[in-house]
Amino acid sequence: MSRADAKLEVSIEQLRGGVDRAQRPQLRRALSRPIASWIDGAFPNGGYPTNDFAAAFAAWTPAAAALAREHRDVTTNAALGGDLTGVILDKRSVRLFIFATDGVVGGATARVTLGIAGVRPDGSETRFSVAGELYLTREASQWQIFGYDLQRRREFP
């Protein structure tokens, strides 16, 4: 593939509950980690054709990962992975809405938008997007995805 994936853009849109502003960069990085892990594992740039997206849920809670596997046509590239030679993510946007109380962060909603181009063996592209929400919580300082509400849409031409 000659085209590179778009940069992962993560912004904090809402953070209340007495959290010090100085914590924002660290919080953004910590929340970005499981989301980036999912995107990279679910919609990898290379290695096609493949139906192996096992790495997608490494940063999910076990129960959420089990549910997400049932929706793998939405939560991963399983629907098309076997028919493609490559994938380019030309949009990777994440907006974070964070809940905190008394200065302690409890969870976050990540509104995710992925713009994806799948390359077929003849060089043509099929375009689709995956968008929706991921719900994150933490165990100690380790953030995990514990829920999701995602839609996958095909875009044309």
Partner 1 sequence: MRRRLLRWAGLLALLGAVVPDASRPPPEFGLITLDGGRGIDATDDVIWMLALGSDARPGEPVMRSRSDAIQLVGMNTVNHSAVTIGIPRDSYVDIPGHGQDKINAAMVYGGPETTAAAVAGLTGIEPDYVFVASFPGLIRMVNGIGGVRAEVTYEMDDQAQVFHPGPHRFSGIEALAFARIRYGLPGGDFDRSMDQGELLKGGLATLVEGLERPGFFEAALGVFARYTDTNLSPVELYQLGRTVLTINPARVQVCVLKGSSGYAGQASVVFADLVATRSLVADVRNDATVDQTC
Residues 78-137 binding partner 1 (CB under 8 A) are 79, 95, 97-102, 104-109, 111, 128, 132, 135, 137
Q: Mapping DSSP to helix (H, G, I), strand (E, B) and coil, where does residue 99 land?
A: strand
Among 9, 73, 83, 90, which residue sits at the site for partner 1 (rule: CB under 8 A)? 73
| Whole-angstrom distance, CA of residue 60 vs CA of residue 134 | 10
17 Rama class: left (phi>0) / alpha (psi -120 to 50) / beta = left
Number of Cβ atoms within 10 Å of the Cβ of 56: 24
CA proximity to 150, closest of 136, 130, 135 = 130
Least separation in angstroms between CB 2 and partner 1 = 25
C-beta of 24 vs 138, nearer to partner 1 = 138
Question: Per-residue x/- mask for partner 1, residues 136 to 155, rule CB under 8 A?
Answer: -xxx------xxxxxxxxxx
CA distance 87 to 42: 11
Judged by the rule CB under 8 A, the positions of this chain that interact with partner 1 are 13-14, 16-17, 61-64, 67-68, 70-71, 73-75, 79, 95, 97-102, 104-109, 111, 128, 132, 135, 137-139, 146-157
